């Protein structure tokens, strides 16, 4: 039956007796006690001990890949038996789901007949919370067989199964990685069709991620590390989180079509843990390297990576260990709170996307989104004319504020319908609200027919309240900086360019090479940026150069040359990245196979290659 000639059942299960006896007194090492007892009880069988964790043979059997039959009373020992279990009722996670819950058992000590691939094993499971290792809790599998090679194969396959995601997302919280089916279900409901963004920006975000995961061969040809960092920033409530979820969904769909294209998401909730944030960062990047290629998400990056752990974070990003295949995305409402070493170094987070408050057309689209949600509700009238009217009164609103206005309005309508007599007893404050509503309706310039719509009446009241809240926040918080020009596909007038002249005239130097190039131009030519012949830089865009401004070479050759060397070293990775991005966008209309030396070819075609060459001449050769 098991490849074993000896009996599987003994008259008295001495191992159970030893475990119960040992657990009743001082415990030092349960593993030794159980191992020695099993060797005495089954001298003709080989014993393999394997800890639980990534390997969970009971869960593997529960998933249908094996069978595990409990052998609870095989020895007919009424005093000791051969198992120790906790049985409890697990209620449904949400009462609203009307679930029945389940009876569950937690095995502390058990004996099983385990069958896998037509081979049977005798398996014990023992929990040992010992004095020398009280935390973490240790549970081991003790497998008895004559066919150890088959047990090794079982351990391998069951462990691989345990490390894989099964309609789940890896979430790092409180110091350890856990699988979240709840987040996965939320992600599955998020689609790019539901994300209201400027269409060019949406396409650029999707293309950035797709090109990264599809472009390993091109990264290898260019001799640059296959890693990437993206920052989503801007006022809260404008689509950063939903964009991340939509991208997670899209990446899971890749894997559904072709398992070789699977890109798991690793979601970091907090660095807080019993071992400290440094341990958390180590565990996060260790897992990311194991799962690569992967999508590593840091929401609220400015609060996760504090000054206390900044250096450790940068070491993990730039250290000696390879981060190939890891695409990091961080979101923040406050880009200015991020350390410049994180937000401005091109080799870390080299692309930024600004999520501004929605414009008029986007607010109309969002109102139409709610119109679609309410189309089956006959009690709430929502004509097409109401969408631009709502967009008009919600100027400077974020999507989150617009959502709040809709939800609060619909709740008010629901309360009104639940108890229409309640208004009689609402008191003087309700009377003031009614007078305010009449005042609002009399002072707007919308179609008079809209004034009779209950939804329009409530929307106006909620918008007024939210505007008052926004005015209070303006006093408490400094204004957000305007967007940096790091989104070429979303800039007005952007179009794919093919000639060198077009590239030079259309591209914003800020996107290509950052502020360091501006400093370098001034240093090389001894003249201000405005007279350098490069495209004008908007005066509203704030800059924080990584290095002190370099003195012109003709004034201070030594210091100027040192500054240029620092800038050059930072400049080259940015140039390589920018040129590679342009190639990925297909703007040059050529295939990699047409050129033997892609690095030299791209460098020659780069829009600012003459600036690089000028710097090299000033430095007396390449650095």
> What 3-state DSSP class applies to 117?
coil
Identify the three-state secondary structure at position 275: coil
Task: Pick the range with the lowest mean pLDDT from 93-107, 312-326, 551-565.
Answer: 551-565
Q: What is the pLDDT of residue 431?
A: 57
Higher pLDDT, 329 or 583: 329
For the record, the structure tokens of 217 come out as: 């061969």
Say whether pLDDT at 335 is over 90: no
Res. 613 pLDDT band, cuts 50 70 90: low
pLDDT band of 532, cuts 50, 70, 90: very low
C-beta separation of 18 from 128 below 8 A: no
Q: What pLDDT, on a 0 to 100 scale, did the predictor assign at position 24? A: 67
> Is 239 exposed, middle or buried, given 0-12, 13-18 or 19+ CB atoms closer than 10 A?
buried
pLDDT number for residue 177: 93
> 589 or 578, which is more confident?
578
Q: Which two tokens stand for residue 353?
A: 């996307």
Q: Which residue has the tokens 């987070």?
A: 349
Instruction: Please tell me which residue, 448 or 484, carries the higher pLDDT value.
Output: 448
* Cα separations in angstroms, 385 against 146, 166, 363: 78, 46, 13
369 versus 452: the higher-pLDDT residue is 369
The per-residue pLDDT of the chain, averaged, comes to 74
Residue 519, pLDDT score = 46
CA pair distance 277, 362, nearest whole angstrom? 40
- Residue 464 tokens read as 């007024």
Q: At 96, is the pLDDT very low, low, confident or very high (cuts 50, 70, 90)?
A: low
Give the pLDDT score at 453: 86
Higher pLDDT, 80 or 455: 455
Our CA angle for 416, 420, 424, nearest 5°, is 110
What pLDDT was estimated at residue 76?
Answer: 55
Q: How confident is the model at residue 392 (pLDDT cuts 50, 70, 90)?
A: very high
183-193 pLDDT tens trace: 999 999 999 98
* Greater pLDDT, 322 or 442: 322
Beta bridge partners of 46: 145
SS3 string, 337-381, reads HCCHHHHCCCCCCCEEEECCCCCHHHHHHHHHHHHHHCCCCCCCC
| pLDDT at residue 442, rounded to an integer | 47
Check pLDDT > 60 for residue 514.
no
| CA 41 to centroid of chain Cα atoms | 51
Spatial separation of the C-alpha atoms in residues 311 and 265, rounded to whole Å:
24
What pLDDT is stored for residue 493 in this prediction? 36
pLDDT band with cut points at 50, 70 and 90 for residue 16: confident
Share of the chain above pLDDT 90, in %: 30
Longest Cα separation, the chain: 98
Beta strands in 454-499 (DSSP E): none
- Closest C-alpha among 182, 496, 237, 453 to residue 355: 237
So what's the pLDDT on residue 254?
86
Distances (CA, A) of 409 to 24, 371, 377, 381: 63, 13, 15, 13
Mean pLDDT of 34-53: 91
Q: For the residues 444-466, what does the mean pLDDT come to?
A: 79
pLDDT of 366 reads 92
For 393, the token pair is 């009164």
Give the residue-averaged pLDDT of 366-376: 90
Distance, in Å, from the CA atom of 469 to the CA atom of 460, rounded to the nearest integer, reads 14
Domain ranges of the chain: 14-164, 178-354, 379-476, 495-619
Q: What pLDDT score does 360 carry?
A: 93
- The predicted structure's pLDDT at residue 103: 85
Q: What is the pLDDT of residue 436?
A: 56
Supply the pLDDT for residue 258. Answer: 73
Report the pLDDT averaged over residues 523-528. Answer: 42
The pLDDT value recorded for residue 120 is: 93
What pLDDT score was predicted for residue 471? 77
> What's the pLDDT band for 240 if we cut at 50, 70, 90?
very high
pLDDT digits (tens, 9 = 90+) for 534-586: 333 333 333 333 334 444 444 555 555 555 555 555 555 555 455 445 444 44
Report d(CA 174, CA 7) in Å as an integer: 47
When mean pLDDT is compared across 252-266, 502-516, 597-611, the lowest value belongs to 502-516
Say yes or no to pLDDT of 68 above 90.
Answer: yes
The whole-angstrom separation of Cα 47 and Cα 202 is 57
Crossing angle for the helix pair 609-619 and 598-605, nearest 10 degrees? 100
More confident residue, 466 or 440: 466
**Bond into 410 cis (ω within 30):** no
Query: In terms of DSSP H, where are the helices of 507-556?
Result: 509-513, 515-525
Helix %, strand %, coil % of the chain (to 5): 50, 15, 35
Q: Is 496 exposed, middle or buried (0-12, 13-18, 19+ CB in 10 A)?
A: middle
Does domain 178-354 fall under CATH 3.30.830.10? My reply is no
Q: Write the CB contacts of 427 (distance below 8 Å, at least 6 apart in sequence).
A: none
Q: pLDDT tens-digit profile of 269-303?
A: 999 888 889 999 999 999 999 999 999 999 899 88
Model confidence over 169-180: pLDDT tens digits? 999 998 889 999
What pLDDT does residue 1 have? 46
Instruction: Please report where in the chains the tokens 């914003």 appear, as a residue.
Output: 508
Average pLDDT of the segment spanning 590-610? 45
In the chain, count of helices (H) and strands (E)?
A: 23, 13
Asked whether the beta carbons of 188 and 169 are under 8 A apart, the reply is no
Answer yes or no: is pLDDT of 197 > 70.
yes
Q: Which helix (H) or strand (E) holds 610?
A: helix 609-619
Residue 173's pLDDT is what?
A: 92
pLDDT tens digits, 400-435? 989 999 998 888 888 776 565 656 655 665 555 555
């Amino acid at each position: 039956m098991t490849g074993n000639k000896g009996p599987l059942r003994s008259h008295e299960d001495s191992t159970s007796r030893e475990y119960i006896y040992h657990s009743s007194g001082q415990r030092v090492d349960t593993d030794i006690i159980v191992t020695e007892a099993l060797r005495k009880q089954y001298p003709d069988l080989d014993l393999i001990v394997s800890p639980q964790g990534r390997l969970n043979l009971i869960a593997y059997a529960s998933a249908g890949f094996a069978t595990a039959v409990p052998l609870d009373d095989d020895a007919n020992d009424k005093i000791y038996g051969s198992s120790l279990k906790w049985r409890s009722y697990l209620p449904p996670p949400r009462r609203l789901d009307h679930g029945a819950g389940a009876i569950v058992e937690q095995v502390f000590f058990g004996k099983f007949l385990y069958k896998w691939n037509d081979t049977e094993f005798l398996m014990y499971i023992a929990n040992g919370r010992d004095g020398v290792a009280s935390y973490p809790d240790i549970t081991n599998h003790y497998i008895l067989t004559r066919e150890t090679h088959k047990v090794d194969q079982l351990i391998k396959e069951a462990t691989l199964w345990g490390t894989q995601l099964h309609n789940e997302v890896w979430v790092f919280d409180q110091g350890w990685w856990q699988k979240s089916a709840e987040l996965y279900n939320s992600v599955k409901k998020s689609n790019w069709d539901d994300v209201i963004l400027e269409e060019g920006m949406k396409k650029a975000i999707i293309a950035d991620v797709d090109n990264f995961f599809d472009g390993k061969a091109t990264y290898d040809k260019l001799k640059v590390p296959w890693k990437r960092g993206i920052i989503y920033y801007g006022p809260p409530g404008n689509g950063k989180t939903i964009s991340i979820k939509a991208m997670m969904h899209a990446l899971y769909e890749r894997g559904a079509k072709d398992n070789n294209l699977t890109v798991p998401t690793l979601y970091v909730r907090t660095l807080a843990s019993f071992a400290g944030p440094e341990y958390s960062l180590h565990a996060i990047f260790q897992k990311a390297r194991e799962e690569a290629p992967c999508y590593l998400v840091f929401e609220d990056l400015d609060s996760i990576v504090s000054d206390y752990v900044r250096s450790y974070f940068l070491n993990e990003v730039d250290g000696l260990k390879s981060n190939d295949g890891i695409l990091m995305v961080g979101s923040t409402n406050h880009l200015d709170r991020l350390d410049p070493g994180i937000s401005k170094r091109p080799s870390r987070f080299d692309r930024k996307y600004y999520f501004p408050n929605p414009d008029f057309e986007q607010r109309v689209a969002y109102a139409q989104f709610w119109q679609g949600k309410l189309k089956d509700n006959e009690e709430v009238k929502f004509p097409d004319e109401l969408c631009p009217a709502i967009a008009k009164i919600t100027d400077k609103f974020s999507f989150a504020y617009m959502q709040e206005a809709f939800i609060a309005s619909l709740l008010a309508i629901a309360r009104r319908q639940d108890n229409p007599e309640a208004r009689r007893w609402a008191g003087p404050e309700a009377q003031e609200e009614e007078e305010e509503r009449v005042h609002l309706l009399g002072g707007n310039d919308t179609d008079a027919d809209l004034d009779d719509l209950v939804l329009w009446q409530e929307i106006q009241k909620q918008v007024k309240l939210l505007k008052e809240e926004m005015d209070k926040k303006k006093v408490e918080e400094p204004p957000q900086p305007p967007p940096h020009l790091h989104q070429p596909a979303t800039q007005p007038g952007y179009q794919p360019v093919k000639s060198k002249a077009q590239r030079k005239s259309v591209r914003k130097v800020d996107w290509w090479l950052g502020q360091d190039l501006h400093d370098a131009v001034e240093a090389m030519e001894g003249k201000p940026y405005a007279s350098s012949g490069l495209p004008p830089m908007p005066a509203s865009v704030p800059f924080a150069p990584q290095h002190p401004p370099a003195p012109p070479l003709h004034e201070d050759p030594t210091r100027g040359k040192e500054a240029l060397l620092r800038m050059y070293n930072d400049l080259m990775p940015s140039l390589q990245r920018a040129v590679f991005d342009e190639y990925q966008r297909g703007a040059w209309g050529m295939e990699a196979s047409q050129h033997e030396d892609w690095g030299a070819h791209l460098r020659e075609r780069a829009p600012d290659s003459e600036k690089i060459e000028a710097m090299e001449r000033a430095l007396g050769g390449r650095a």
